[in-house]
Amino acid sequence: MKILVIGKDGQLGKAFQKEFLSLFQGRLSEVDIRYIGRQDCDLADLGALEKILEDFQPKVVINAAAYTAVDKAEEEVELSFAINAALPGLLAKYAAVNGAYLLHYSTDYVFDGQGSIFYTEDHPVSPLGIYGKSKAEGERLILEAFSKIKSSQAHYAIFRTSWVYGDGANFIRTILRLAKDRPELKVIADQFGVPTSAQWLAELSSDFMFDLSPDSSIALRNFPSGIYHAVPAGETTWHGLACKAVDIAKVAGANLLLEAINIKPIPATEYPLPAPRPMNSRMSTQKLQKALEGLGVVSQFPQWDLLVRDYVSELTKNQLI
Ligand SMILES: NC(=O)c1ccc[n+]([C@@H]2O[C@H](COP(=O)([O-])OP(=O)(O)OC[C@H]3O[C@@H](n4cnc5c(N)ncnc54)[C@H](OP(=O)(O)O)[C@@H]3O)[C@@H](O)[C@H]2O)c1
């Protein structure tokens, strides 16, 4: 089975590399996995990617690439739409025409974050900034491509996720870096969401996609195509996440000047940024949990703070703070 992973050096891309090492262990002769990073192809050049698709003819395409610089996107509008919209649009056309599977990732930023509801997948999108608008357009183009060509072999899943952390730059690492030599910090406490481990997301995505019954060859699951919200259980604020990360790192032995009690909660209005952010990023995961149950996959979503504990403990142990 040919598998193409795009965006191999991002947080999610690296998580897939790690996940597939263990998932396909002992069955490597059954898969042909190609990982694409910036050095292989500038994704703004769709012609180059088209050639890779034509030559390799993957049965599974995983798009872990994205333009994720939320503030810079306000100025780099064209590039943001090229990577977040045109690229998934092209991948969807390929998958729909060739009877392939597409896994794509989107974001809580497709919503405006009004109120305190848990967004469901069918809630109308209303992005506030360019990043969210470009990701929403990417979703639309995937839906459009699959609505035009109905191949029973082609499937797609768009996983909307939020506050991703993994092997790369992210909020948790920034806080822990600052915590080494700052006695006090101010962190936003009125934006709500769910921190999501890239490793957990890669594992969940793989469970959704691959059926690895021990006595048969690797199969693809007949999952219902659509948009799914994919975040762990619970909710917090950036302030809650910062306090949790500092507490865990200290317990794990990190040498930090900052105590969680000295992280001051502030409203978002006190920390203005170029791009507007949703105040409420809560998303219901019921649809995904039901779909996983329907596929016979056990799906107890872990609490976000348990995953953060594992991540921060690992960073501390490996002296990566
Ligand atoms: N990070 C979050 O907090 C967050 C929240 C919600 C949803 N998401 C979604 O989750 C998915 C994974 O995010 P992530 O955190 O893993 O993102 P990430 O770490 O920023 O990785 C994105 C990857 O895409 C690559 N890329 C971007 N433009 C490229 C280009 N023109 N040519 C080649 N490669 C290019 C980047 O390469 P370079 O490193 O070389 O630029 C990077 O390796 C994305 O769909 C994102 O929208 C993320």
Q: Whose CA is nearest to atom 48 of ligand 1?
A: 164
**238 inside domain:** no
Report yes or no on 320 lying in a domain: no
Q: What is the CATH number of the domain that holds 297?
A: 3.40.50.720
In angstroms, what is the span from residue 11 Cα to ligand 1's centroid? 7
Residue 263 Cα to ligand 1 midpoint, Å, equals 29
Q: Which residues contact 157 (CB under 8 A, 6 or more apart)?
A: 102, 103, 104, 205, 208, 209, 223, 225, 226, 227, 228
| Domain containing residue 296 | 2-169+196-233+282-302
pLDDT (tens digit, 0 to 9) for every residue of the chain, 321 residues total?
999 999 999 999 999 999 999 999 989 999 999 999 999 999 999 999 999 999 999 999 999 999 999 999 999 999 999 999 999 999 999 999 999 999 999 999 999 999 999 999 999 999 999 999 999 999 999 999 999 876 778 999 999 999 999 999 999 999 999 999 999 999 999 999 999 999 999 999 999 999 998 888 999 999 999 999 999 999 999 999 999 999 999 999 999 999 999 999 999 999 999 999 999 999 999 999 999 999 999 778 999 999 999 999 999 999 888
Count of domains forming the chain: 1
In the reported structure, the alpha carbon of residue 84 is separated from the centroid of ligand 1 by a whole-number distance in angstroms of 9
Specify if 110 maps to a domain. Answer: yes
60, part of any domain: yes
> Residue 219: inside a domain, yes or no?
yes
Distance CA 321, CA 315 (A): 6
4, two tokens: 């193409």
Position 274 in a domain: no
Distance (Å, whole) CA 252 – CA 313: 6
Catalytic residue among 105, 109, 131, 165: 131
In a domain, 50, yes or no: yes
| Active-site residue, 35 included | no
Within 6 A (CB) of ligand 1 lie 7, 9-13, 38, 42-44, 64-68, 83, 105, 107, 135, 161-164, 168, 198
For the chain, helix, strand, coil in percent to 5 are 45, 20, 40
What's the number of CA atoms in the CB half-sphere (13 Å) around residue 58? 26
Does 12 fall in a domain?
yes
Residues 6 or more apart whose CB falls under 8 angstroms from that of 85 comprise: 134, 135, 137, 138, 140, 141
How many angstroms is it from 101 CA to the middle of ligand 1? 20
In this structure, the number of other CB atoms found within 10 A of the CB of residue 214 comes to 6
pTM comes to 0.97
